[in-house]
Structure 1
Amino acid sequence: MKIDRWELIEMIFQRVLESPPERRSEDVQALCGGDEELASEVNSLLNYEHEAEVELQNMLAGELSALESIESASEIGGQVGPYQLVRELDSGGMGVIYLAVRSDNQYFQIVAIKMIRRGVASSEVIQRFRDERQMLATLTHPNIGVILDGGETEDGRPFIVMEYVEGQPITAASAARELGVRQKIDLFRSVCSAVHHAHQKLIIHRDIKPDNVLVTPEGVVKLIDFGIAKPLVKESFLNERSPTESWQRLMTPDYASPEQLLGRQLSTATDVYSLGVLLFELLTGSRPYRLAGLSPREAERVVLEEERANPSSVKDLPAQIRKELSGDLDTIILKALQQEPSRRYLSVQHLEEDLHRFLRGRPIAARRPSVLYMLDKFLRRHRIAMLVICASVVMLAVFLFGYAWQIRVADRRVSEVRGLADSAISEMTDKLQQSSTSTEAQAALFHRALLYLNQLNAKTGDNPRLLLEISKAYIRVGDLEGSPFVANLGNSGTAVTSYQNALRTAIEAKAHLNIPESTAAVIKAHQRLGDIYTFLGDARSATEEYQSGLALARPFWQKSPHDPMRTEVLTMIYAGMGDVALNKLRPDEALANYLEATGIFGDQPSGDEAHDRFVADLHLRRAAALNELGDQQETLRQVEEAIHLTEALIQRFPSSIQTRRELLLAYQRMVLTLSGRSFLNLSQSKQAQVYARKMLQIAELLSVNDSRNAQASYDTAVSMSIMGDAYRQVMPEEAASWYRRSIALTKNLEPLYAAETKHRIAVRDEALADVLLRPKESTERLSALREANQIRQALAETSPHGRLHLLGSYCKLSDAELSVNDVSGATRDADAALPLLQEFGDSSPSLQVLRNIGLCLETEGNLQRRLAFAPGASSSDRHSAEEAAFAYYRSSEQVWDEWVRRGAETPESKRESTRVRRLAQDLRSHKMSRL
């Protein structure tokens, strides 16, 4: 048989391979019998074999080296930039994440640092890591882990400094907190919001699973690990992935979409599918299928051939959960899990919106509508409100229809009427506070209840016990209309009227029935009026109400100091008196009142939500007074106590709107302590940014839950301004963006809250002007300051606080006008400030007052300095202006020296003090040079 030439080459090649390497050349010549062409072919194969063997040995040596490095090279305790690595948080084949702390003595900060392991930093791995870092830098969302910094280690490995997210996977966190279906969906909607934000930045995550969706102790969702995320379009900063990437490395099989498993084109629908798997597991405790450990072919068969089961059909589900899942939730999840991307939700936002419709009892988009389905949804959506309305109307109607009979047995039935009315008001209050009924709907219900109660009262002859219930209803209506402390509609004027009616009816009840409940009702009405007047800036009226309340509350409490009702009303009066003292620029008096309140109420948590929330609130009030007195460390301690206490409450009461808002206020006070605009801060901008983001997230959450809740919109505007405060010292342009957004939203709220809203517009105008530092921004700066000044003039007479703000406004405007050479305007506004400077003098317990005085004295000095150097100024005018300028600068120096004497010096006050001293020295030197 004739042997094919290639078979002959193969036979010789295999024979020679059996020989030792040093003899192979001789064997090739012998076996080829002098055929040089044949020998050349065999030698070529031998060369390829040798190169492949060397490459394999090198690769194995590299892998072995990497493994040895991974096993032996612990970096814990080492330094990465200004951070020290404390412990390992997580690791994979290529990367590792460490818990780290900042250790350069600039400020304390806990972070997470992600970096490539030693020994595996190939060019491909480094590029992928840089891709992730760049993508993270484009994402700014409260539910996405924040990138804080980045760089390279001394041996050239890139690293990412990230917000440290202390939390559990969403599935574990939900189980630990024993969340119901609706609460889990609320959490999941935050995940959708984060993924949608990434999609808007043209980034798909590709690895959405419980381990990458954490829930913090505060109940905040954080989407992490964009290590295998992919751009939807090819960006200049991103490189295409290698076609050799394995399916196991670029996905978690159990959560991967069919197109990921098949290696097809990916899109935002890929993440929609993974979210569907996550939601399935979150609500049922099981996954639609398990692919871990399967080959790609087996996984493909399971995903493409096995039919999806309804989530409600999962085995061993409790009956109640099965009932909640069946129907709309089954439909929503299965739509997200469609095999064809085009049949899933068009976007993550569409999925989130359908879940929102489900929560609100509205028809979902994934289901074809029918008349019966739509009607069923309407009735379910308004179930609580309808039940409350019907119950209240029936109960109150019974009072009216039964009046003729009740009047014949008045003494016995009046007590029953009062009991029924009390039950109606209390039950309505409790149920509505626990429900998702909007603020507007709650107010309407209580207005209706008041109508019936007043009609009943007219027919029963001003019964004192019934009057007490009417007073309670007026208080609740006032709260819903415009109380600054609860969700409200922003109608401050209407709230004042309701509180006045509450006071009138309570006084009338007390005149006929002097019992503890009637005394408490009168005190509470005085306290509510004091609160609303303080909020509106009317310090005089607020003081009158609190004094009237205190005259009753103190002896009332002393009769039975352990009675919770008596303790509460007296504590609230003292807290209110502290608030109005702050408004009067008397932080020393404010602190004394807050300490009095704390001494009566106590400062230890009891486990009761309302009690512990008020303990936290007292910490925050003391912090506000301490801050203005210059005790920064004690301020920080009080705020930390409030945050610790409130975060613990959120763990126990995750759906409580009032407790969540208390946490918002705690975060706000922390930002003001770290980076507030009053100079009374620790100049820790990066830490402030973390808390500012947390605050904004809560505000946006509360606003979404009830669009007519004016307080939530107001808090959102405040949060945007607080974001500006957090950035103003390090990124003025970013701060300006946040201030502009805050101003725009606040102006939309201007019809609400009367003077308070105008005051907030002025505050944010001035904040914006402070960060508009470039010459090209001078026009916008002047416009903002002029608007603020007009508001300040209109509000100046309401309180000392208003006049202090007007003083600062005139001086800021004068400085801005002087910077654009408008000497005439600068003179006019500086002159307008002089009477206010004389009013406040040069001493005050409030460092906020001293700050404004110090800055305004510098403003007056700057103007006189400019006049001294004006062209054409006479020698005597020049001399007079120079002396005046020097005197103003010296007075300003003395004010900043007072900060130092009080131990209140901060980085910003020190910079200001240094600047004014330099101005004085320069002026004196210039004058001496002419002599």
Structure 2
Amino acid sequence: MQLERWHQIKDLFSSALEHPTAERSAFLDRSCGNDIELLAQVRSLLDAHESSLGFIERPAVERAGLADSFEPLNWQGRRLGNYRIVSELGRGGMSHVYKAARDDDQYYKEVAIKLLRPGLDTHSLLQRLRDERQMLAQLSHPNIAQLLDGGVTETGAPYLVMEYVEGQPIDAYCEQRELSITSRLDLVRTLCGAVRYVHQHLMVHGDLKGGNILVTQSGVVKLLDFGIAKLLNASSDPSHTMVNQVVALTPAYASPEQIRGEPITTTSDVYSLGVLLYKLLAGTLPFEVPAELFGWEAAAAMGDRQPRLPSIAAAENNVPAYRRIARQLRGDLDAIVMKALAKEPEDRYGSAEHLAEDLHRYQRGFPVHAHPAHPMYRTRKLVMRHKAATVAISLFAVAIVTGVVTTAWQAHVARSERARAERHLAEIRKLTNTYLRDVYDAAVNLPGATEVRKLLVENSLKHIAALESESQDSLEFKRELAQAYLRFGDVQGDYLGANLGDTEGAVQSYRHALRLRKQVAEQSQTVEDLAALLRSYISLSELLGAQSKLDEAIALAESAIEVGTKLVAMPGVRSSDHRLAGAAHMLLGTNLSTIDLPRALESLHSAQETFERLEREQPNDIGTRFDIALIQSRIGFAYVRSQQYESAFPHYLKASQYIEQIARESPGDAAALRGAAFAAVNLGEVYNNLNKPDLALEPIKLALERVEHLQVVDPANEQASLAVAYVLNHLGDSYLLKGQPEMALTHLNRALQLVNEAPPAKPTDIAEIRMLPGMTNFRLGKAHAMLGQEHRRDATAYLQSSVTRLQELTKDPVIGKDVQRLTDQARQLLRDVS
């Protein structure tokens, strides 16, 4: 409905109210003439006005001039179905909310009951409640108040029964506890997750404000009233659209397009989130809209004005707590809030998820998307994130350059100076080795450290290689060079950690390291040198096994076991050496899982015994605890390879519980977060294979949250986006098993986008990455096939693509059987849709 049309309706409605009731019909006939639609719209408003007395609230309806003042019925003590009204909780723009209790013979439960105003097209509103109630009831999110029931009163007024939430509005919660900026941003990010969930279910909240967002005593965010604005604004009857929007919105939080009565979208909710974020950071609203203004009057009052920056508003706030944090808001937070508050929807964040991502980037010290991407800005953020590493690398580079230049110069001096030059060369090598060992180890598990690790290793490797001619046949030099190659391989393509996606490059680096370690071990049989040799065997075998090169991987794992057996028999052996020996058995069992399950389980259980013994001896050792989780996961994997999902389940469950505890204790440990994510998705996959998709959703969604976090904080990790796509695939599979192809498509389309944006899979990539494009296309085809004949063309295209992509992998020794099953299913679906 155009704004001018609404002016006409409102003016005619106001004039009709000035006439006696008996004369209004004749007045409208004269005024509307042949405009039947205008007549119907004004009469609808008059009908709503006449039926308004005695029901719920005043504010929005009266401000809009659509109803006179009235007093609501006293519902306290009355019953609605099985519920008894206890007390009033609050009033909103179109409703009263009461605390009630279900106290029938079935059970007792406290709930909140929302009563909608009758007379505002009650019949159609009730019908829409019936149509959408089932969908709303299926929504289940820890940060959204659950819809439990609904019905109509004896007078025909509709009501909704909601989860009762005892908490404070989010802005009052933050102020009362004087929460830090970080804590406030954490609450908003949690809220964004709930709003994103609503949007994924094709709904728009439309009335996000402090009063609709409660925080419990334990700090849990609960979004209320979602769906109500959507229900009101979803009417297909144009005569009610403007009325419903006027009544539902809250001007101070509403987007410009919502105030103008235009259709609202998910970006309208983003604007409201921006207002809320502004309020939480600055202590005031970006625009103070006078209570007596509404609709287009409120829009006119706001006009094209831009609000003050949050930092300025906070600095001018009378509350000292906000003045103290004003400087911290300058720059990134100002930019984030102002982007969310952009007048035009296309200038805002595209989704609540994108807003949450930028807030998280700010918290982690990464460049935010709201800020212009100037090189100096990005450099400053990198330095701020890694102050210690930046200083260390700078000093390291200076030391290396100085050392090389000095050494080159000293090579030309007289023989009497050679001894001093050799001492200097030894110092340079010692410095390089220190950076490879101490600085690298300190950074390896920090989220976002991939780029720092890469710089450390590349510089170390380059300068060690440059000095190779000076080393002659030094064992110490070979140890240093092997260490550099091993570290470089980890950065290039260690699929168990953050890496650059260069799997084949990693294999070559591991080969160099192993060659050098063998040379050292031939001359030195110390515990340290044998342990280093064992570590090189394990790294190379692990990666070759992931590439499906099982013959070589198994041979290397068997060699690793021989070295491990010799190592643990030596005097002076350490617990870390026993862990390595156990890892060799675990690795052999993993590589055998696809081709020889009994032998694989024998080796895996041997490793399990070692790890459990070490845990008894050192129960607080984080490395051993991690190994316990890993061995449970590998045993589960062995059973999954043989499709023994019932047997796999308890091991995957133990692995997930164990690593989840470690991740909670070490939230800043990227390796723990990554391990917890994949343990959770493994558990979800088994639930799916057992046809229990409802149980699969929680662990898979947790895994998705973890891998998305790692993707944001470590953009240099090339495998992070594919990890997200992998988890999204299993989430989509859960919804397919639940018979919800529309929800599956939401996640699978995003997975396909990530797959297509990544470099094409290479034959040397790990098996999961090679399988991912075909698997994603298969599930997309299955989803479209489930949607019926009108999606037949899409289903056929995706299924044919999946067959093409998967066919070449059917002979793979690791994933071949799984691929063959998918290919057979794809071909059967193609026959069904053709």
TM-score range, shorter chain: 0.5 to 0.7
Q: 1:733 to 1:380 in 2, by over 3 A?
A: closer
Q: Deviations over 1:807-865 (max 9, x none)?
A: 758866886899899xxxxxxxxxxxxxxxxxxxxxxxxxxxxxxxxxxxxxxxxxxxx
What is the aligned partner in structure 2 of residue 686 from structure 1? 694
How far apart, in 2, do the equivalents of 1:426 and 1:128 lie?
Answer: 65
Q: 1:364 to 1:233 in 2, by over 3 A?
A: same
Confirm or deny: 8 A CA contact 1:129 1:227 kept in the other structure: no
How far apart, in 2, do the equivalents of 1:729 and 1:53 lie?
Answer: 48
How far apart, in 2, do the equivalents of 1:495 and 1:54 lie?
Answer: 71
Give the 5 Å matches for 1:225-244: 225-226=225-226, 228-230=228-230, 234-236=234-236
- Compute the TM-score of the two structures, normalised by the length of structure 1: 0.61
The amino acid of 2:628's aligned partner reads V
How far apart, in 1, do the equivalents of 2:217 and 2:418 lie?
Answer: 59
Compute the RMSD of aligned alpha carbons.
Answer: 6.2
What is the aligned partner in structure 1 of residue 728 from structure 2? 720
Note if 1:642 corresponds to 2:637. Answer: no
Q: 1:684 to 1:516 in 2, by over 3 A?
A: same
Q: 1:526 to 1:343 in 2, by over 3 A?
A: closer
Confirm or deny: 8 A CA contact 2:538 2:584 kept in the other structure: yes
Note if 1:93 corresponds to 2:98. Answer: yes
The amino acid of 2:656's aligned partner reads I
What is the aligned partner in structure 1 of residue 672 from structure 2? 659
The amino acid of 1:487's aligned partner reads A
What is the aligned partner in structure 2 of residue 30 from structure 1? none
| Partner SS, residue 93 of structure 1 | strand
How far apart, in 1, do the equivalents of 2:600 and 2:669 lie?
Answer: 29
- Listed as ranges, the gaps of 5+ residues in structure 1 are 1-51, 75-90, 104-112, 677-681, 822-931
Deviation at 1:551, TM superposition (A): 0.7
How far apart, in 2, do the equivalents of 1:407 and 1:267 lie?
Answer: 79
What is the aligned partner in structure 2 of residue 567 from structure 1? 578
Match of residue 425, structure 1, among 436, 447, 467: 436
Match of residue 754, structure 1, among 738, 747, 764: 764
| Partner SS, residue 236 of structure 1 | coil
Confirm or deny: 8 A CA contact 1:363 1:377 kept in the other structure: yes
Q: 1:570 to 1:415 in 2, by over 3 A?
A: farther
| Partner SS, residue 487 of structure 1 | coil
The amino acid of 1:713's aligned partner reads S
Deviation at 1:65, TM superposition (A): 1.9
How far apart, in 2, do the equivalents of 1:557 and 1:409 lie?
Answer: 41
Give the paired residue count. Answer: 721
Deviation at 1:493, TM superposition (A): 1.1
Q: Deviations over 1:248-306 (max 9, x none)?
A: x987x9x9569999999996787556534654676x6x844899xx99689999x99x9
What is the aligned partner in structure 2 of residue 670 from structure 1? 683
What is the aligned partner in structure 1 of residue 460 from structure 2? 449
How far apart, in 2, do the equivalents of 1:660 and 1:550 lie?
Answer: 29
Q: Deviations over 1:318-377 (max 9, x none)?
A: 999776444443565578689x99999687668668657756878878789999989866
Q: 1:448 to 1:221 in 2, by over 3 A?
A: farther
How far apart, in 1, do the equivalents of 2:499 and 2:373 lie?
Answer: 35
Give the 5 Å matches for 1:243-258: none
Deviation at 1:479, TM superposition (A): 1.6
How far apart, in 2, do the equivalents of 1:335 and 1:806 lie?
Answer: 45
Confirm or deny: 8 A CA contact 1:714 1:749 kept in the other structure: no
Whose Rg is larger?
A: 1
Q: 1:336 to 1:563 in 2, by over 3 A?
A: same
Confirm or deny: 8 A CA contact 1:499 1:529 kept in the other structure: yes
Deviation at 1:467, TM superposition (A): 2.9
Q: 1:500 to 1:187 in 2, by over 3 A?
A: farther
Q: 1:499 to 1:277 in 2, by over 3 A?
A: same
Confirm or deny: 8 A CA contact 2:367 2:381 kept in the other structure: yes
| Partner SS, residue 593 of structure 2 | helix
Confirm or deny: 8 A CA contact 1:685 1:729 kept in the other structure: yes
| Partner SS, residue 538 of structure 2 | helix
What is the aligned partner in structure 2 of residue 471 from structure 1? 482
Q: 1:428 to 1:739 in 2, by over 3 A?
A: same
How far apart, in 1, do the equivalents of 2:185 and 2:272 lie?
Answer: 15
How far apart, in 2, do the equivalents of 1:179 and 1:599 lie?
Answer: 47
Deviation at 1:241, TM superposition (A): 9.2
Note if 1:787 corresponds to 2:795. Answer: no
How far apart, in 2, do the equivalents of 1:498 and 1:544 lie?
Answer: 19
Confirm or deny: 8 A CA contact 1:203 1:230 kept in the other structure: yes
Deviation at 1:566, TM superposition (A): 0.5
How far apart, in 2, do the equivalents of 1:577 and 1:167 lie?
Answer: 54
Deviation at 1:791, TM superposition (A): 0.5
Confirm or deny: 8 A CA contact 1:468 1:505 kept in the other structure: yes
Q: 1:61 to 1:320 in 2, by over 3 A?
A: closer
Confirm or deny: 8 A CA contact 2:611 2:627 kept in the other structure: no
What is the aligned partner in structure 2 of residue 579 from structure 1? 590
Deviation at 1:481, TM superposition (A): 1.3
Q: 1:540 to 1:231 in 2, by over 3 A?
A: same
What is the aligned partner in structure 1 of residue 508 from structure 2? 497
Confirm or deny: 8 A CA contact 1:539 1:583 kept in the other structure: no
- Listed as ranges, the gaps of 5+ residues in structure 2 are 1-52, 57-68, 88-95, 412-416
Q: 1:467 to 1:169 in 2, by over 3 A?
A: farther
Note if 1:589 corresponds to 2:599. Answer: yes
Confirm or deny: 8 A CA contact 2:115 2:159 kept in the other structure: no
How far apart, in 2, do the equivalents of 1:234 and 1:133 lie?
Answer: 14
How far apart, in 2, do the equivalents of 1:371 and 1:817 lie?
Answer: 50
Q: 1:312 to 1:364 in 2, by over 3 A?
A: farther
Confirm or deny: 8 A CA contact 1:762 1:788 kept in the other structure: yes
The amino acid of 1:600's aligned partner reads T
Deviation at 1:465, TM superposition (A): 3.1
Q: 1:600 to 1:242 in 2, by over 3 A?
A: same
How far apart, in 2, do the equivalents of 1:631 and 1:641 lie?
Answer: 17
Confirm or deny: 8 A CA contact 1:785 1:812 kept in the other structure: no
What is the aligned partner in structure 2 of residue 203 from structure 1? 204
Give the 5 Å matches for 1:473-872: 473-559=484-570, 563-584=574-595, 586-602=596-612, 606=619, 610-627=623-640, 635-676=648-689, 682-731=690-739, 733-734=741-742, 737=745, 742=751, 745-746=754-755, 748-752=758-762, 754=764, 756=767, 757-763=769-775, 772=785, 783-784=800-801, 786-787=803-804, 790-792=807-809, 795-796=811-812, 799=813, 801=814, 804=817
Sequence identity (%): 23
| Partner SS, residue 673 of structure 2 | helix
Q: Deviations over 1:49-80 (max 9, x none)?
A: xxx99999997565442499866899xxxxxx
